[in-house]
Amino acid sequence: MPLSSSVIVLLNAASGGAGPNEATIQAQFLVAGIEAEVVVLQPGQDPGEAARLVLDRAEVVVAAGGDGTVSGVAGALAGTSKVLGVLPVGTLNHFAKDLKIPLDLEGAVATIAGGRVASVDVGQVNDRLFVNNASIGVYPGIVEAREELRRAGYGKWLAMLLAIVRMLRNYRGVLVRMMVDGNETQWRTPFVFVGNNEYTVEGLRLGSRRTVDGGRVFAYLAPRIHAYELPMLAIRALLGLSAVSEAFEIVSAPDLRVDTPNHKDIGVALDGELTNMTTPLSFRTWAGALRVLVPPV
C-alpha cells in the first residue's frame, strides 16, 4: 500500500527502558519520506484508547513499545481497514519477532515505509483481544507478585526473580475444565497457556511461532508436573530433551472454553499485561482480523 502522510505513532516511552524519543522517531520517518505525527502516551494511559482517539485521522497507526502496547493498539484496529505498524522498542517484542519485523528503529521504519500489508489473526478471550497469548495460573501470579515487590522498592529484574522463586515454591496449580467440540476434560495444572496460533515448545525456537495466520488457538497445559519443576522442564525443552508428549497436553481448535470451578474471578495475563476476568473463559480466533505492515517476502 502506498503510504500517505496519515501515519500516527503512539509512543510508550516507558517500554523497555531508554528507547528512542519523539524527535528521533520523527527524524527516522522523514529519512524514509514520511511525515509522521508522534503522540507520546502518558504514564498509565491505555494504548487501545489512545489508538481509538486517532483512528479518524490516520490510515496507519504505529505502536512504538513492547508487546503490551502493540496488543492494545491492535485491539483498537482489529476488524477495521486501518493498518498497524510496529516499532519494537519494548523488552521482549515477541509479536515483532514472529512477523520478522526488524528490532532496530531504522529497519522497523523501513518496513513501515515499504507498505507491504499482511492480514493476521488475533485471539479473543471473552471481550478482550490478544496478539500473542493469554494465560492463567502461575504466570499471572508471578506478574502480580513482581508488581508488589516493585512497589516495595525492588528493581525490575530482581523483583521478577524473587517473584518467580516465590510462586514456583508455593503454587499448587489451578483446577480447570476445558470444553472443546462438545467434549469436556478436567485437569489440575500449573498453567493454561493459550496461544494465538501454534507455539514452538522445544529447541532454540522455543516460544516462537512459525505462523500467525493459521486460524486456530492452541492451549498448552502441564497436568503431570508441579510448578517447582517448570524451570527444569524449560531447560530440557530449550535443549530439545523434553518429552513434550508426556509433559504437556496440547489442544488446538478455532475456539475453546476454560472454566475454573474453584474461582469465579481469576487473573489472566494478556500479552504480558495482567487483568482479572470472570470465568468461564471463552477463547476463539478472529482469523485475518488485523492488517499489519510486514517486511517484504
Q: Are 101 and 147 found together in one domain? A: no
pLDDT for residue 3: 57
140 falls within a domain: yes
Q: Of 66, 93, 115, which residue constitutes the final position of a domain?
A: 115
Least confident residue range of 151-155, 196-200, 243-247, 276-280? 243-247
Q: Give, as one character, the DSSP assignment of residue 200.
A: P
- Residue 244 belongs to a domain with what CATH number? 2.60.200.40
Mean pLDDT of 239-262: 83
pTM for the full model? 0.91
293 falls within a domain: no
Residue 89 pLDDT > 80: yes
Q: Are 215 and 246 found together in one domain? A: yes
Q: Are 101 and 195 found together in one domain? A: no
DSSP 3-state of 179: strand
Q: Are 101 and 134 found together in one domain? A: no
- Residue 13 belongs to a domain with what CATH number? 3.40.50.10330
Q: Are 170 and 75 found together in one domain? A: no
Q: Are 63 and 36 in contact (CB under 8 A)?
A: no
Residue 252 φ then ψ, to 5°: -120, 135
pLDDT for residue 4: 55
pLDDT for residue 244: 61
- Upstream peptide bond of 2 is cis (omega within 30 degrees of 0): no
Q: What range defines the domain where residue 245 resides? A: 129-283
Q: Are 78 and 137 found together in one domain? A: no
Q: Are 212 and 237 found together in one domain? A: yes
295 falls within a domain: no
Q: Are 137 and 246 found together in one domain? A: yes
Number of domains the chain is built from: 2
Strands (E), the chain: 7-11, 37-40, 60-65, 83-88, 117-125, 128-130, 133-137, 174-180, 183-189, 191-196, 217-221, 249-253, 255-259, 265-270, 273-278, 281-293
Give 146 or 1, the one with higher predicted confidence. 146
26-58 confidence digits (pLDDT tens): 999 999 999 999 999 998 899 999 999 999 999
78 falls within a domain: yes
Grid-cell match 510496529, residue found = 86
